[in-house]
Chain A
Amino acid sequence: MSAVIHEDHHHDEPPRGFKRWLYSTNHKDIGTMYLIFALVMLFVGGAMAMLIRAELFLPGLQIVNPDLYNNLVTDHALVMIFGMVMPAAAGMANWMIPMMIGAPDMALPRMNNMSFWLLPAAAILLLASLFVQFIPGTGVPVNTGWTIYPPLSVQVGLGMDLLIFSVHLLGISSIMASINIVTTILNMRAPGMTMMKMPLFCWAWFFTGLLLIIVMPVLAGGVTMLLFDRHFGTSFFDAAGGGDPVLFQHLFWFFGHPEVYVLLLPSIGVLGLVIPTFSRKPLFGYKPLVYFMGFLFALGLVVWAHHQYTIGMSLGVTTYFMIGTILISIPIGLMIFNFIFTMWRGSITFETPMLFAIAIILMFSFAGVTGVMLAVVPADLQYHDTYFVVAHFHYALIPGAVFGLYAGVFYWLPKWTGHMYDEKLGKIFFWWTTLSFNLTFFPQHFSGLAGMPRRIVDYNIQYVEFNQISSIGAFAFGLSHLLFLYIIIKTVKGGEKAADKPWEGAQIGTPGLEWTLPSPPPFHSFTTPPKIQ
C-alpha cells in the first residue's frame, strides 16, 4: 500500500537546477543528455575529419606532422563510433523505448544515470590522450589507428594508457546501458504488448544490446592485456616472451566486427518506423525482419577474421570466414527488400526523415556491394588497407548508421520538443549533406583501387585530383552540420506546435503508444500501464 501512496507523491514537474541533470533517473532527461553529448562529439570528431581532409588536400606535409595525423585518424574513429553513434542511438533508445512499450521508465534508472555520466569522463580521457603528446616526455602520440594493434601500441607513449582507460569507461558505460535496455524490453512491456507487437526499433535495440553485452567485455579484456604488456611485463602479444601480436587482432575484431552491427541495427530500427509512416502502409514482413535481425546478430559474431585475411591463415579458415561474410548479404538484402516492398504502392510523401530513409537504402546497398567485393579473399588481398576500404566503411557507416540517426532526429524532434522542425531547412540539409557525402567518399573508391594506402599523411601526386574532390566534399559535408545544429536549436526554441501524432501514418501497423502521449510528453508518462488494442 505504501508503494501506491508514494506513487501519488510524484510531481510532474522536473526538479530544478543542475541536480535535475546530474542526479537524473528520468529516461527522457537521460535520453536528452545522451543526444546532446552525441551532438557535441559529432562536432569534435568532425573537426578531426576536417583537419585530416585539409592535410590531404595536397600531397606532402602542410598542417600536421605524421604522428599527429595518425593520432587524429585514431581519435576520429573512436570519437565518432563511441562518442557519437553509440550515445546517439542509446539516447534514442532511452527516449523512445519506454514510451513505445508503455513503461513508466527504464528498468534500472539509477544505473541509467551512471551509464550516461561515465561518458563525459571517458570523453575527457580520450581527448587527453590526444593532447598529452604536447607535454614533453610523454612519448610518441597514439599513431596506431583505432585498431591499436601491438606491437606498435605497446611502444607508444602515455596517450595509449589514457586511451585504454577511456575504452574501459566507454565499454562499462555501453554494457550498463545495454543491460538496462534489454532488461527494459524483456520485463517492462505494458500488458498486451507482446514481443512480436513491439516497434522494430525495440527489436533492433534488443539485438544491439545483446551484441554489446557479448563483445564489449572481450575488447575490455584485450585492452587490459595490452595495458599489462605495456606496464607489468606480461607477454600476451610479445613474441619475445612467447606471445603473439595476431592474438590481439582476433580479440579486437571479435569485438570490432559485431560493433558494425551495433552501429547499424538501431538505424535499421529507425527505418522500420520511418518507412511505414511515410508510405502509409504497415511494415512489410515484420516477423521475417525480426528473425533476420537475429540471424544477422548470430552471423555477425562468427565472421570477424575477414578483417585479417592478410595475416596468413590456413585455406580452410580463410574460406570459412569468406563464406560466412558473404552470407551476411542475405539478411541485409532481405531488410533492404522489405523496406522497398513497404514503399511499394504506398502513398508516399517525402518529408525529411523519408528522404533520408530512401537515400540510406540506396547508399547502404552500395556499401553492401563493395562489402561483398572485400569479402572475397583474392580481391581483398588487393584492396586491403587502401582507400577502397575507407570508402566502403564510410558508405556503410554514414548512411547505415549516421543518416539513420538523422532520420530518427527529424522523425522524433516534434515528439521530443513539441515543435515542428522547419521542413524546408530539413530538406536543404538532406540534399546538402547527401550530395557532399557522396562527393567526399565516392572518389575514394577510385584512389583506393589505384592503390592509395590508408592512414598515410602523404601520398603520390597521381592521387591529387581524387583527394582534392574528396576534401572539397568533406568541407561541404562538415559545413552542412552547422545547418543541422541550427535546425535543432530552432526547433527546440519554438516553431509550429506539433500534434500528439505529427505524422499522419505514424500508427500504421504498430500499437504506436508513443504517439498517444502529448508532444512533448509529460515528465512522467505511463505511470499506469496503457491499454493495447
Chain B
Amino acid sequence: MNEIPTQHPQEKNRVSARWLFLLVIGMFGFGFAMVPLYNLLCSVTGLNGSTTGRIQEEQALTRRVDFSRTITVEFDATNNADLPWEFHPMVKKVDVHPGEIMEVSYFAKNNSNRAIIAQAIPGITPWQATEHFNKTECFCFAKQKLEPGESKEMPLRFVIDPDLPEGFTTITLSYTFMDTDRTKLKKVNALPELHSSLSVLPQSYSN
C-alpha cells in the first residue's frame, strides 16, 4: 500500500495542467497577435494587392520613362453592400509607358438623402504588379464624404515603376467604395432583397 498515490502525483498533475493551460492562453493571445502581424506582413509584401502604393511626387518625377513598353491600365469601380452612390471611372482604360505620370479621375455621386462617408479600397490584378503600381494622389488615401445629391470628380495620379517585370501588359485597378458606417450592415435583416428574391424561387421552379 506504500505505492498508493500520495500527494506527489496530484502535484505533478497540477503542474502539467497549469503548463498546458498557459499554452492555451498563449495561443489565444497568438490569435489576436496575428492581427497586427498580418497587417505588417501584407503592407511589406503587398500580399493582398491592398497596399495604397503611395509615393511622393518628387520621387515619381525622377523616374526614367521606358518608351519601349506600353501598359494598358484598366479601371474598375464597385459599390460594397448597397452603397447608394453612383461611382465609375471617367475613362475605362488608358495606355501608359512605365515611368510616365498619368492622371485620370473617378466620378462619385451620393444618390441618397443622407450624408455618407465612404472609404475606397484598392485592388490590383495581377497582384504581382501591386508593388510596382505607385500613386502620388488618390481618393483612396482618405475617407470621402458626400452630402445628399453631391457629386465630385476625384483625381488619381499614378506612375508604373519601370521595374515592372516583363510579361505584364495589362493591369486592372479596382476600387470598392465601402460605407464607413457599418451599423446598417449588421442589422438582422441585412440582406432583405437578396433573401426574399431567393425564397420566391421554389414556387417559380415548381410551376
- Indicate if A88 sits at the interface (CB-CB under 8 A): no
- Indicate if A244 sits at the interface (CB-CB under 8 A): yes
**Which of B84-92, B107-115, B148-156, B175-183 contacts its partner?**
B175-183
Q: Roughly how many angstroms separate A157 CA and B186 CA in the complex, as a whole number?
A: 8
If the complex has contacts A67-B195, A155-B185, A244-B42, are A182 and B16 also in contact, measured as CB distance less than 8 A? yes
Whether A187 pairs with B12 at a CB distance below 8 angstroms is yes
Q: Roughly how many angstroms separate A175 CA and B176 CA in the complex, as a whole number?
A: 40
- Indicate if A438 sits at the interface (CB-CB under 8 A): no
Which residues of chain A are near B3, meaning CB under 8 Å? 191, 528-529
Question: Looking at chain A's contact residues, is the secondary structure mostly helix, strand, loop, or mixed?
Answer: helix
Whether A139 pairs with B127 at a CB distance below 8 angstroms is no
- Indicate if B65 sits at the interface (CB-CB under 8 A): no
- Indicate if B202 sits at the interface (CB-CB under 8 A): yes
User: Contacting A244 at CB < 8 Å: which of B9, B20, B31, B39?
Assistant: B39
If the complex has contacts A107-B17, A213-B24, are A67 and B180 also in contact, measured as CB distance less than 8 A? no
- Indicate if A236 sits at the interface (CB-CB under 8 A): yes
Whether A104 pairs with B5 at a CB distance below 8 angstroms is yes
Number of A-B pairs, beta carbon distance below 8 Å: 163
Which residues of chain A are near B32, meaning CB under 8 Å? 221, 225
Closest-by-CB residue of A relative to B131 is A314
Whether B25 pairs with A217 at a CB distance below 8 angstroms is yes
- Chain B 1-32: CB-based contact to A (< 8 A → 1; otherwise 0): 10111100100110011001101111111111
Q: Roughly how many angstroms separate A217 CA and B9 CA in the complex, as a whole number?
A: 28
Which residues of chain A are near B179, meaning CB under 8 Å? 240
Whether A233 pairs with B188 at a CB distance below 8 angstroms is no
If the complex has contacts A4-B4, A65-B202, are A239 and B176 also in contact, measured as CB distance less than 8 A? yes
Q: Kindly provide the distance from the CB of A313 to the nearest chain B CB, expressed in whole angstroms.
A: 6
Interface size class of chain B, counting residues whose CB lies under 8 Å from the partner chain = 35 or more
Q: Roughly how many angstroms separate A191 CA and B4 CA in the complex, as a whole number?
A: 11
Whether B182 pairs with A240 at a CB distance below 8 angstroms is yes
Which residues of chain B are near A157, meaning CB under 8 Å? 188-190
Q: Roughly how many angstroms separate A60 CA and B188 CA in the complex, as a whole number?
A: 28
- Chain B 114-149: CB-based contact to A (< 8 A → 1; otherwise 0): 000011010000011000000000000000000000
**Which of B45-53, B54-62, B68-76, B96-104 contacts its partner?**
B45-53
- Indicate if A17 sits at the interface (CB-CB under 8 A): no
Whether B34 pairs with A312 at a CB distance below 8 angstroms is no
- Indicate if A329 sits at the interface (CB-CB under 8 A): no
Q: Kindly provide the distance from the CB of A193 to the nearest chain B CB, expressed in whole angstroms.
A: 13
Whether A156 pairs with B190 at a CB distance below 8 angstroms is yes
Whether B202 pairs with A250 at a CB distance below 8 angstroms is no
Whether B49 pairs with A138 at a CB distance below 8 angstroms is no
Q: Kindly provide the distance from the CB of A266 to the nearest chain B CB, expressed in whole angstroms.
A: 18
Which residues of chain B are near A104, meaning CB under 8 Å? 5
Whether A244 pairs with B38 at a CB distance below 8 angstroms is yes
- Chain A 206-228: CB-based contact to B (< 8 A → 1; otherwise 0): 00000001111111111001000
If the complex has contacts A155-B191, A191-B3, A218-B30, are A240 and B119 also in contact, measured as CB distance less than 8 A? yes
Q: Kindly provide the distance from the CB of A189 to the nearest chain B CB, expressed in whole angstroms.
A: 10
Whether A247 pairs with B35 at a CB distance below 8 angstroms is yes
> Quick one: which of B6, B47, B121 has the most chain A CB within 10 A?
B47
Which residues of chain B are near A244, meaning CB under 8 Å? 38-39, 42, 48, 50
Q: Roughly how many angstroms separate A61 CA and B201 CA in the complex, as a whole number?
A: 8
- Indicate if A179 sits at the interface (CB-CB under 8 A): yes
Within 8 A of B (CB), among A96-140: 104, 107-108, 111, 137-140
Whether A108 pairs with B13 at a CB distance below 8 angstroms is yes
- Chain A 66-108: CB-based contact to B (< 8 A → 1; otherwise 0): 1100000000000000000000000000000000000010011
Whether A317 pairs with B188 at a CB distance below 8 angstroms is no
Closest-by-CB residue of B relative to A232 is B186
> Quick one: which of A137, A175, A240, A528 has the most chain B CB within 10 A?
A240
Whether B185 pairs with A187 at a CB distance below 8 angstroms is no
Whether B121 pairs with A239 at a CB distance below 8 angstroms is yes
Given contact pairs A225-B31, A238-B178, A312-B47, enumerate 17 new A-B contacts (beta carbons under 8 Å).
A3-B6, A4-B1, A4-B4, A61-B202, A108-B13, A140-B195, A175-B24, A182-B20, A183-B17, A217-B25, A217-B27, A225-B35, A233-B182, A235-B182, A240-B119, A244-B38, A244-B50
What are 7 A-B residue pairs whose CB atoms fall within 8 Å in the complex? A65-B199, A138-B188, A156-B190, A179-B17, A230-B186, A238-B178, A251-B31
Residues on B lying within 8 angstroms of A by beta carbon are: 1, 3-6, 9, 12-13, 16-17, 20-21, 23-32, 34-35, 38-39, 42, 45, 47-50, 80-81, 118-119, 121, 127-128, 176, 178-180, 182-183, 185-191, 195, 198-199, 201-202, 205-206
